[in-house]
Chain A
Amino acid sequence: MRIGEAARVAVGALVAARLRTGLTVLGVMIGVSSVMVLIAIGDGTRREVAGRVDELGSNLLLVVPGKVEIGMPTISRMQLSDVEAVARVVGDPTRVAASVASGELVQAGPVKTFTTVAGVLENNRTVLVRDIARGAYLSRADVDSARRVAVLGATVARVLYGGTDPVGRQITVAGVRFRVAGVFAPLGQSLGVDRDDEVHIPLTTAQRLFATTRVDGLAVRATDPAGMAALGDRIVAELGERHPDSAFSVVTQDQILSVLGDILDVLTGVLGATAGISLLVSGVGVSNIMLVSIRERTREIGLRKAVGARPSDIAAQFLTEAVLLTSVGGVLGIALGVAATVAVERFTPLPTLLTGWSIALSFGVAAGVGIIFGVLPALRAARLDPVPALRTE
């Protein structure tokens, strides 16, 4: 039997059992579209993370306490003097930024908000590249004199002052009064985290406020990307000499990207596999409906065999029917998946990215489900004994 003939018979049978066909197609649609949406979320997240890491620039070295290969960074033993030592290794103090951060209550008049307060050096803005929307960033004098001045993230500014300009106004951080020096240009949301929900104050002021002498981490903007590995080694060696019982690590953008890439591969895989389960369930539905269809059409199968259909003809006919069922479900599922992805992008904070390969994969899997879950019923139909088949009512 030619494929065209098999398709014609399959269409006829599927149209004849409209409701059943519709429900089975719906199952496949849901499976395919959920695979698509979840892969789109995985890919969107990957793109956003990669984009954010890219913003750091390829010549940035992050110096953190502990060994990153082992796990999470440990509590820092670095001091301000270590920052100066690293600056000497680098040869340019303006290229070495340092910070210590803590979650604190920030208040303007009656309005309060809990936010991340980072104590930083005045070069933080240039090393990590941040734009100021209003006022000015922290100055060298602010750091040297441990002044109580603050630069607000866009969200903190909006929460505390609404539309009015906060520059020059008074706020309290952990109960201590500060003057607002400036406001950052907004960075926006990333992965559900508000990157504008922060306040920068001078590192020296922060150490007093937090009653600590520690520095959490350093960021070094290298001039020569080629010499970065060597520079990193020299920094780690210097810090190791100053703190013999502590470990330090240097990470670059490439390393972050590769680690995050691995994590996101797992994330996308888990999301896709979860959705794949619904596709699998829809496949079981296809099997089930094909078995019902074959039982109903036992007489037809008997007759076809009587007039000369070979077992392979019957198998091909029902396999075609199953694949047609899931392919139609696949195409409609792709349409639904695109619509659902657009909705997720618009109405949730989750980033999405539709790629050609995920659409192709979804359709391929749907058609594959038809083959895999159609084979058993098709073989069963092919093996039917024509004599009893013709006798069924």
Chain B
Amino acid sequence: MTAAIEVRQAARAYRVGQTEVAALRGVSLTVRRGDHLAVVGPSGSGKSTLLQLLGGLDRPTAGSVVIDGHDTVTVGEAELARIRNRVIGFVFQGFHLQPRTSALDNVALPLVYRGVRRAERRRRAAEMLARVGLAARAGHLPGQLSGGEQQRVAIARALVTGPAVLLADEPTGNLDSAAGRHLLDLLEQLNTEHGVALAIVTHDHEVAARARRQIVMRDGRIVSDTDTDTATDTDTITDSGVCS
């Protein structure tokens, strides 16, 4: 498997008033194509920050993050936006659907920024909605859908551009356990059938247990990176790429 995202000694510090707060303190990680990994750890361990760096929503203050061959530290804002559009799909705990826009047009949104014509956008969005089992709900507004359905719309939106990696931050956090399981089934099916890499940040050990690879974080560092397929555990203070 080839690397979709390469993180090398990435650090991310925030300035709060006069003091610097380190959210990430030198993390190295490789997300491979078709990967299925879960990032776990207590609050404030840097999981979400890592996810933002993986998705090019944010840039490291030290080290590097290379997405699909592009170093996020050196590319411009517009180029970074293009990378997010083409390589990454985001799924958020709070769904982040446009409330006054139909499920179909919510799914079609990323294609707007790819210059796809409206009719074609809608055709592809309808296809994606069908794939997540919501073909019948295309015309509904998010408020008319259940939480599980809304999150499936969000997944369809994340996948409509055909990204290499789907990044999910607590995707089941706002769902009941049945809806959560259903959602994970869907994500795993997309992972196995379409080869899209999954990186899921979660508090939930059940969710983490379903991933093939578990990354545990504490205090801005990765303390373990376990791949159940190869059953190796590299205490990844060094380069995690060796475990492939």
The size class of the interface chain A forms with chain B is 20 to 34
The answer to whether residues A386 and B98 also contact, given A308-B82, A308-B85, A310-B78 and a CB cut-off of 8 A, is no
From B52, B58, B161, give the contact of A308 (CB < 8 A). B161
The answer to whether residues A311 and B109 also contact, given A300-B98, A386-B57 and a CB cut-off of 8 A, is no
From A5, A12, A312, give the contact of B78 (CB < 8 A). A312
Evaluate contact between B78 and A307: CB separation under 8 angstroms: no
Evaluate contact between B113 and A390: CB separation under 8 angstroms: no
Q: How far is the CA of A312 from the CA of B100 in the complex (A)?
A: 23
Residues in chain A near residue B78, CB distance under 8 A: 310-312
Q: How far is the CA of A159 from the CA of B100 in the complex (A)?
A: 70
Q: Which residue of chain A is the closest to B87 with respect to CB atoms?
A: A308
Evaluate contact between B57 and A16: CB separation under 8 angstroms: no
Q: How far is the CA of A18 from the CA of B4 in the complex (A)?
A: 45
From A12, A304, A385, give the contact of B100 (CB < 8 A). A12
Evaluate contact between A387 and B110: CB separation under 8 angstroms: no
Evaluate contact between B100 and A307: CB separation under 8 angstroms: no
Query: Closest Cβ of chain B: how far from A116's Cβ, in Å?
Result: 70
Evaluate contact between A307 and B77: CB separation under 8 angstroms: no
B21 at the interface (CB under 8 A from A): no
Q: How far is the CA of A387 from the CA of B169 in the complex (A)?
A: 12
Q: How far is the CA of A386 from the CA of B112 in the complex (A)?
A: 18
Q: How far is the CA of A311 from the CA of B57 in the complex (A)?
A: 13
Q: Which residue of chain B is the closest to A386 with respect to CB atoms?
A: B57
Evaluate contact between A304 and B109: CB separation under 8 angstroms: yes
Q: Which residue of chain A is the closest to B117 with respect to CB atoms?
A: A2
B86 at the interface (CB under 8 A from A): yes
- Count chain B CB atoms within 10 A of each CB in A307, A312, A387 and give the residue with the most: A307
Interface of A is mostly: helix
Query: Closest Cβ of chain B: how far from A209's Cβ, in Å?
Result: 83
Q: How far is the CA of A49 from the CA of B90 in the complex (A)?
A: 70
- Give the number of residue pairs across the A-B interface with Cβ within 8 Å: 64
Query: Closest Cβ of chain B: how far from A241's Cβ, in Å?
Result: 83
Evaluate contact between A307 and B57: CB separation under 8 angstroms: no
Q: How far is the CA of A387 from the CA of B92 in the complex (A)?
A: 12
Evaluate contact between B96 and A308: CB separation under 8 angstroms: no
Query: Closest Cβ of chain B: how far from A86's Cβ, in Å?
Result: 80
Evaluate contact between A310 and B82: CB separation under 8 angstroms: yes
A289 at the interface (CB under 8 A from B): no
Q: How far is the CA of A296 from the CA of B57 in the complex (A)?
A: 21
Evaluate contact between B58 and A309: CB separation under 8 angstroms: no
Evaluate contact between B113 and A310: CB separation under 8 angstroms: yes
Q: Which residue of chain B is the closest to A300 with respect to CB atoms?
A: B98
Residues in chain A near residue B58, CB distance under 8 A: 385-387
Residues in chain A near residue B114, CB distance under 8 A: 308
A191 at the interface (CB under 8 A from B): no
Evaluate contact between B113 and A309: CB separation under 8 angstroms: yes
Query: Closest Cβ of chain A: how far from B51's Cβ, in Å?
Result: 10
From B52, B84, B115, B118, give the contact of A307 (CB < 8 A). B84
B36-54 CB contacts (< 8 Å) to partner A = 52
Q: How far is the CA of A310 from the CA of B113 in the complex (A)?
A: 8
A295-350 CB contacts (< 8 Å) to partner B = 299-300, 302-313
Q: Which residue of chain B is the closest to A389 with respect to CB atoms?
A: B57
Q: Which residue of chain B is the closest to A382 with respect to CB atoms?
A: B77
Residues in chain B near residue A313, CB distance under 8 A: 81, 113
From A299, A300, A387, give the contact of B57 (CB < 8 A). A387
Evaluate contact between B112 and A390: CB separation under 8 angstroms: no
The answer to whether residues A306 and B84 also contact, given A311-B78, A387-B57, A390-B92 and a CB cut-off of 8 A, is yes
Q: How far is the CA of A90 from the CA of B92 in the complex (A)?
A: 97
B32 at the interface (CB under 8 A from A): no
Query: Closest Cβ of chain A: how far from B21's Cβ, in Å?
Result: 14
Evaluate contact between A309 and B96: CB separation under 8 angstroms: no
Residues in chain A near residue B115, CB distance under 8 A: 2
Query: Closest Cβ of chain A: how far from B226's Cβ, in Å?
Result: 28
From A12, A308, A312, A385, give the contact of B86 (CB < 8 A). A308
Evaluate contact between A306 and B112: CB separation under 8 angstroms: no
Q: Which residue of chain A is the closest to B58 with respect to CB atoms?
A: A387
Encoded as 1 (CB less than 8 Å from any A CB) or 0, chain B from 51 to 70 comes to 01001011000000000000
Q: Which residue of chain B is the closest to A313 with respect to CB atoms?
A: B113
Q: Which residue of chain A is the closest to B160 with respect to CB atoms?
A: A307
Question: What are 5 of the A-B contact pairs (CB < 8 Å)?
Answer: A12-B100, A306-B57, A307-B90, A308-B114, A387-B58
Interface of A with B (CB < 8 Å)? Answer: 1-2, 5, 12, 16, 299-300, 302-313, 385-387, 390
Interface of B with A (CB < 8 Å)? Answer: 52, 55, 57-58, 77-78, 81-82, 84-86, 90, 92, 96, 98, 100-101, 109-110, 112-115, 118, 157, 161
Q: In the complex, given contacts A307-B84, A312-B78, what are 13 additional A-B residue pairs having Cβ atoms less than 8 angstroms apart?
A: A1-B113, A12-B100, A303-B109, A305-B84, A306-B55, A307-B90, A307-B110, A307-B157, A309-B112, A310-B78, A310-B82, A313-B81, A387-B57
